[in-house]
Structures are given as C-alpha cells and as structure tokens.
Amino acid sequence: MAQEVRGVIAPGKNEPVRVETIVVPDPGPGEAVVKVQACGVCHTDLHYKQGGISDDYPFLLGHEASGVVESVGEGVTDIAPGDFVILNWRAVCGNCRACLRGRPWYCFNTHNAKQKMTLASTGQELSPALGIGAFADKTLVAAGQCTKVDPAVSPAVAGLLGCGVMAGIGAAINTGNVGRGDTVAVIGCGGVGDAAIAGSRLAGAARIIAVDIDDRKLEKARSMGATHTVNSKASDPVEAIRELTGGFGADVVIEAVGRPETYKQAFYARDLAGTVVLVGVPTPEMKLELPLLDVFGRGGSLKSSWYGDCLPSRDFPMLIDLHQQGRLDLAAFVTETIQLDEVEKAFERMHGGDVLRSVVEL
C-alpha cells in the first residue's frame, strides 16, 4: 500500500523549500522503497530550487543518501529488505553500447524508478532530484540505484559517497588515474575539491597542491591531504604550481570549479603530456577560448569526469572499507547534522565557506 511520509519540496523557482506530506507508492518491478537514514545537502539541490537545472517543479530534493531497504518489487534479486545501502543516481542498464563494451561507468542509458511519487495535498507528480529525492523519510528508486555496503559505517558518512565526495575521489583515482609519485594540483577546495585531494592522497600522489581564494578552505584542504596551498587571490596559481613542481607543472590538474578562467589555469598549470580533469560543472553561457596550437603542443589529455566516472558496485564498498580501515577520513566531510526542516537554512549557510557538508539525519 502507498505510504504518506514527509519530504522536502522545492515548489517553484527561488521559492523557499518546505516540508510537505508526499505519497510513496509500493515498489513496482525493478524498484525499491528505501527508508532514508541520512542525506547530505549538495549545491545541486540548491540549483534545482533556483531553476538552474529544469522547470519540472515541484522537485523532491535530496540525493546524497544512505538508508535501509524497506521493500523491493518483482524481479529484484541484488538487494533485499533490511540491507544498508548508498543511493546512486545512475542505475546502469547493462545493454547500451558503453555497458556492452565493458565500460558500465559511462552507461549512456541509466534509469530511475518508473512510478512517480506525488504530493499528498494535490496529487501532483514530483520530480525527484537526480532521480533520488531523499530529503524524505522514504523514497522510491530503481533497485540498481541501491548499493549494499558495510552497515557498521555511520549513515551520514556513507551517504556522502552518493554524490560530491565520490565525484571528487573518482576525478582523481578514476578519471585522472593519479598514481604513486604523481604531482597533483586541485583548483577549488569545496567538498568536491577536498575529496579530489583525499583521493589523490589515497592513490599515493607525492605532492598535492590545493588552490583556492579562501584561506579557511586552504586550511581545511591541508587537513584532507594537501601538501602545499596556493591562495590564487594573492599569487598567480599557474606560476605557483610550476614553482612547486620543479618549474614544469603538475602531472594531473583537477578543476573543481567549472569556470573558463579556472579551466585555463588548470590547462597551463599541468606538465607537458599531463592530464586536466574537469569535475566542476559549468553553466550554459560559459565559453572557453584556447590557442589550438597550445592544445596540440602541450600534449596529454583533457578529460571530464562524470560523477567521478564511478561504478557504484565497485567503488562504494571499496571506499567504505578504506574508511573503516582508517585510510580515508570520510567523516571529515560532515560539518554538521541537521533536521529535515532545516534544509532552507543549510542553503543559506552554503555560501559562507565554513560548511563542507550539512547532512540531514532522519
């Protein structure tokens, strides 16, 4: 039977978000209902609220979540009621050209639940953020969006792997292929950038240079594993990175801002034949201009990282295990835990620079 639970709704462009009663249907074939335990507040949720992603209001926000499977629909065999899972926004199809070539992390035909959750008051269909919608007591997802991990880990910590932290770690270890002895520079030290720093440390980078315009963020970046910091307001980051790498530039530069000017910094701060990884998300009006001769002459590769090019079934359990072994401090990303009705306030605090992640605990 369909259930009524609380959920955080973005009702219209720039309107404050609010808690409303939503209807969660029973899982259909290939679907699961998950009792949410924790969900991080991500910039993408704010972008939904502001209309930066689409106009499909009302949105059910929240997408960096973990919880316990409550029920599963027909044909679901990988997970069962009672399993502790991290939600991901890309359930892979297994049949597209990327999947069939053994590259499911690129899956071009990912899916979400087919049935819709609705607003109890009006019956309106909800658009769940990134196909998840987890600022709610319970949510309906495709079973492939649930990845089982060790239930001993704290839900607030586990949920963060569902989005920003995975994107950053994956940008370093999957897309950038950072290896032992590499020099790495990370431009932009928010949650994703800090995760890229933690990922680079995990991969054995010899030197990790953090670049930001905020000294508090640089301080935090150091605690995540940065060996050097550069305030790009005070000094030219390209020059500074070259100076710290024997005059050559870094092997891998990770751009975690998503702006043309920081992308150019990344482009020129890398060594010949080095790699640029763009994991910051640009907006539609942004344009990049670079001398094509420099693109050719400097060699190497210019890559973009979708969700850290992660494969949840491979990466989530591994990163939770490394966290449990004390080799990856995921708890450092949780700044504060809040209640479901405090999401709007958390959005306001986002721009202050003090908060890496607010996490709603349910």
Q: Which is nearer to Zn ion, 68 or 350 (CB)?
A: 350
Stretch of 104-112, 177-185, 274-282, 292-300 lying at the interface with Zn ion (CB under 5 A): 104-112
- The nearest distance, CB 280 to Zn ion, in angstroms, is 13
- If the CB atoms of residues 218 and 279 are measured against Zn ion, the closer one turns out to be 279
Distances (CA, A) of 232 to 88, 193, 271, 312, 354: 34, 15, 19, 34, 19
Nearer to Zn ion, 118 or 139 (CB): 139
CA distance 304 to 287: 15
Question: 242 phi and psi, to 5 degrees?
Answer: -60, -45
Which residue of 8, 107, 161, 319 would you call a contact of Zn ion, by CB under 5 A?
107
> Nearer to Zn ion by C-beta: 109 or 324?
109
Nearer to Zn ion, 62 or 274 (CB): 62
Q: Where are the alpha helices (DSSP H) in the chain?
A: 43-50, 97-100, 155-159, 164-170, 191-203, 215-224, 237-243, 260-268, 292-297, 312-324, 343-350
Distance CA 223, CA 202 (A): 14
- Please, what is the minimum distance in Å from the beta carbon of residue 63 to Zn ion? 6
CB of 296 to Zn ion, least distance (A): 33
- Secondary structure tally for the chain: helices H, strands E: 11, 18
Using the rule CB under 5 A, which residue among 37, 44, 127, 262 binds Zn ion? 44
5's tokens: 């639970």
Residue nearer to Zn ion on the CB measure, 274 or 280:
280
Considering beta carbons, is residue 240 or 254 the nearer one to Zn ion? Answer: 254
Q: Which of 141, 163, 169, 334 binds Zn ion (CB under 5 A)?
A: 163
User: Which pair of tokens denotes residue 145?
Assistant: 């969006």
Q: Residues in contact with Zn ion, total (CB under 5 A)?
A: 8
Helices 191-203/215-224 angle, 10° precision: 30
Report the alpha-carbon distance of residue 149 to residue 97 in Å, rounded.
28
Number of neighbours of residue 23 by Cβ within 10 angstroms: 18
Judged by CB under 5 A, the residue of 42, 136, 171, 278 near Zn ion is: 42
Q: How far is the CB of 109 from Zn ion (least distance, A)?
A: 5
Distance of CA 258 to the CA centre of its chain: 14
Single residue of 99, 156, 184, 192 touching Zn ion by CB under 5 A: 99
- Does 332 participate in binding Zn ion (rule CB under 5 A)? no
State how far Cα 15 lies from the chain centre.
Answer: 24
Stretch that binds Zn ion, among 9-17, 158-166, 226-234, 238-246 (CB under 5 A): 158-166
Site string for Zn ion, 67-96 (x = CB under 5 A): --------------------------x--x
Q: Is 215 helix (H, G, I), strand (E, B) or coil?
A: helix
Given the complex with Zn ion, which of 33 and 42 has the nearer CB atom? 42
CA distance 120 to 20: 8
Report in angstroms how near the CB of residue 107 gets to Zn ion at its nearest: 3
Residues near Zn ion (CB under 5 A)? 42, 44, 93, 96, 99, 107, 109, 163
